[in-house]
Amino acid sequence: MRNVGTGIPVELLPGIYEVRASSDSPTEKYFAWISAFILTDPRGKEPVAVVDSGWPQTPRTLLIPALASLGFDPSRVATLVNTHSHPDHIQGNTALRALTGCQIWISDADAQGLQASGENYGQAFHAHEPDRHLHSHETVDLAGRQWEVIPLPGHSAGSIGLFNHHERILICGDALQAESHDVAGLAMLPDRQAYRAMLDRVANLGVRHLIPSHPFEPLRSTHLTPETEVTRYLDSCRRNVDEFEMQVHAALHALGGSASTTALAERLCLDRGIGRPCPLAGFALSIDRSHLERVGTIRSGDPGDVWHLA
């Protein structure tokens, strides 16, 4: 049961619920979704926390109904933590704060994504101030569990995970992309160097429950467990980043040595077994342009929409 867009919370672990919003509203023809998480105290004492707020309408249409079905009045939500500042994770921030009175917490490095121009990845939203900046490795109490703030840079500079040492749970947002999801087709990694180093650090955490925000390929799950599955997922993240330049080289070669962004992105998706266009693939690929120029995969100095093998 995919439960996308239903507002029906799925319990992943005692007190930890997933609420899925469509990644592709309203047509929903893709497999991917964006998950917000509701953290509740299994002993019923501490206030509720929410991780990520989804789209502008997600709090009203999905999160509040999900809370109600669990027996919580909106005023029980004390905290909203953003894993990072991209639109599918923060656009519901102001609505959730207005509906519940919660505080908004986000990492130092991604806080400017809320405050800046009110536009983020081309999507307009209400610029707003967070209530608290989270610092790397500080411990926060949320809904009766202790969580260490783990810096997970690569997808965004200030991406963070919440790690519970006791149960070895890591809620990781979009920081660990595996082979990306079928809306993007390609992993979005503006800082591939930081991503590689981060993968090593996560591998050493001994995560038993990995909880990403999207069903990233190829495992297509937002709750990876036990540890062997987490390892398989991390291996896929590693392989994907290691093979990327080679894949671009092969795809461009197959296209005769040069291609437009759209054609190259489509070819890359096809080569990876995704048989339909991914709406964000061209955008995802363009993020890697300067990286690919720097490492010598493509020729530098060409106009942005044309890609030539170096």
Instruction: Examine residue 182 and tell whether it contacts Zn ion (CB under 5 A).
Output: no
88 or 182: whose CB is closer to Zn ion? 88
Tell me the closest approach of the beta carbon of residue 17 to Zn ion, in angstroms. Answer: 18
Tell me the closest approach of the beta carbon of residue 227 to Zn ion, in angstroms. Answer: 24
Q: Which region among 83-91, 150-158, 177-185, 258-266 touches Zn ion (by CB under 5 A)?
A: 83-91
194 or 252: whose CB is closer to Zn ion? 194
Q: Which region among 81-89, 124-132, 177-185, 198-206 touches Zn ion (by CB under 5 A)?
A: 81-89
Q: Can you tell me the distance from the alpha carbon of 158 to that of 40, in angstroms, rounded to the nearest whole number? A: 25
Q: Can you tell me the distance from the alpha carbon of 253 to that of 162, in angstroms, rounded to the nearest whole number? A: 42
Q: Which region among 158-166, 168-176, 195-203, 278-286 touches Zn ion (by CB under 5 A)?
A: 168-176
| Closest alpha carbon to 170 in 201, 127, 125 | 201
Tell me the closest approach of the beta carbon of residue 210 to Zn ion, in angstroms. Answer: 15
Number of residues interacting with Zn ion: please give it, by CB under 5 A.
2
Applying CB under 5 A, which of residues 174, 179, 182, 217 lies at the interface with Zn ion? 174
Go through the chain and tell me how many residues it has: 310
Tell me the closest approach of the beta carbon of residue 189 to Zn ion, in angstroms. Answer: 13
CA dihedral 252, 258, 262, 263 (to 10 degrees): -60
90 or 207: whose CB is closer to Zn ion? 90
| Closest alpha carbon to 123 in 113, 132, 131, 133 | 113
Q: Looking at the chain, which runs of residues are DSSP E strands?
A: 10-13, 16-22, 33-39, 48-51, 77-81, 103-107, 119-120, 123-124, 132-134, 139-142, 145-151, 160-164, 169-173, 209-212, 258-260, 306-308
Instruction: Examine residue 18 and tell whether it contacts Zn ion (CB under 5 A).
Output: no
Instruction: Examine residue 88 and tell whether it contacts Zn ion (CB under 5 A).
Output: yes
